């Protein structure tokens, strides 16, 4: 896939995910302009603040997951990844987060793999649940594992196919941009992605990144 085609996929994904909080901001401003009751104006301001936080959290996450992570060296403080994940998924209480990453820093490529796997796993928790994020370095490289657990898990078959390399580059849809990025980064590093869907409300997505 050419770079401009992949950029188009990412832009489509970003626009889709940012449409809701930005639209809520616009609606809140319109309501505020027409509302004169002090209590209702206060509620409008609360909604605006919530939408602004959601937009900022999404942008911070997408900057690290998709962007060049400007301002960082070749390795990134793993606390940045944790903060981005907590901002995206931990704000409304629908998803509980577990963090099992002891490494203080990880490479930019590994950061993108981890965050995009988290994005895919988190999106699969349609009724909320729990996300456990783990990463461990060893002599041969880095292993990343993300476990999603909930009452209902839906993983788009196309995303699974893209992750494990079963979809050609000309067949990737915008919703699979994150999966394609994971596949490309892991493949370039000589690693492997594995996906396991359990019957008891559990999804495991793992990636091995050789040193």
How far apart CA 205 and CA 184 sit, in angstroms, is 15
40 or 87: whose pLDDT is higher? 87
Compute CA distances 43 → 28, 55, 65, 91, whole Å: 9, 18, 33, 19
Q: pLDDT at position 3, please?
A: 59
Q: Is the pLDDT of residue 174 over 90?
A: no
pLDDT tier at 44 (50, 70, 90 boundaries)? Answer: confident
Per-residue pLDDT tens digits for 90-105: 777 899 999 999 999 9
As to burial, measured by CB atoms within 10 angstroms (0-12 exposed, 13-18 middle, 19+ buried), residue 33 is: exposed
Helix (H, G, I), strand (E, B) or coil at 105: strand
Helix axes of 38-66 and 3-34: crossing angle, nearest 10 degrees: 170
pLDDT value of residue 84: 94
Instruction: Give me the pLDDT at residue 73, please.
Output: 61
Residue 130: its pLDDT value, please? 96
Per-residue pLDDT band at 207 (split at 50, 70, 90)? very high
Q: Which residue has the higher pLDDT, 173 or 107?
A: 107
What are the structural domains of the chain?
Answer: 3-210 (3.30.565.10)
Segment 186-197 mean pLDDT: 94
Percent of the chain with pLDDT over 90: 52
Q: What is the mean pLDDT of residues 12-27?
A: 80
Q: In which band, very low, low, confident or very high, does the pLDDT at 199 lie, cut at 50, 70 and 90?
A: confident
Q: What is the rounded distance in angstroms from the CA atom of residue 193 to the CA atom of residue 195? A: 7
User: Is it the case that residue 4 has pLDDT exceeding 80?
Assistant: no
Eight-state DSSP code of residue 156? -
Average pLDDT, the chain: 87
1 — pLDDT class (breaks 50, 70, 90): low
pLDDT of residue 70: 52
Q: Rounded CA gap, 103 and 55, in Å?
A: 29
Residue 188 DSSP symbol: H
Higher pLDDT residue, 137 or 20? Answer: 137
Give mean pLDDT, residues 176-194.
93
């Amino acid at each position: 896939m050419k770079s401009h085609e992949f950029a188009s996929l990412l832009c489509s994904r970003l626009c889709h995910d940012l449409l809701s909080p930005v639209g809520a901001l616009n609606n809140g401003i319109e309501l505020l302009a027409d509302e004169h009751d002090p209590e209702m104006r206060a509620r409008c301001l609360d909604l605006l603040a919530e939408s602004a936080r959601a937009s900022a959290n999404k942008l911070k996450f997408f900057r690290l997951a998709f962007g060049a992570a400007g301002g960082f060296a070749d390795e990134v403080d793993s606390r940045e990844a944790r903060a981005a994940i907590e901002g995206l998924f931990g704000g409304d209480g629908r998803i509980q987060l577990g963090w099992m990453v002891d490494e203080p820093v990880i490479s930019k490529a590994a950061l993108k793999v981890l965050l995009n796997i988290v994005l895919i796993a988190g999106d699969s928790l349609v009724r909320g649940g729990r996300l456990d994020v783990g990463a461990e370095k060893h002599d041969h490289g880095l292993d990343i594992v993300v476990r999603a657990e909930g009452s209902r898990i839906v993983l788009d078959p196309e995303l699974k196919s893209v992750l494990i390399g079963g979809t050609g580059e000309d067949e990737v849809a915008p919703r699979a941009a994150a999966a394609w990025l994971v596949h490309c980064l892991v493949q370039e590093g000589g690693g492997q992605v594995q996906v396991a869907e359990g019957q008891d409300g559990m999804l495991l997505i793992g990636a091995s990144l050789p040193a």
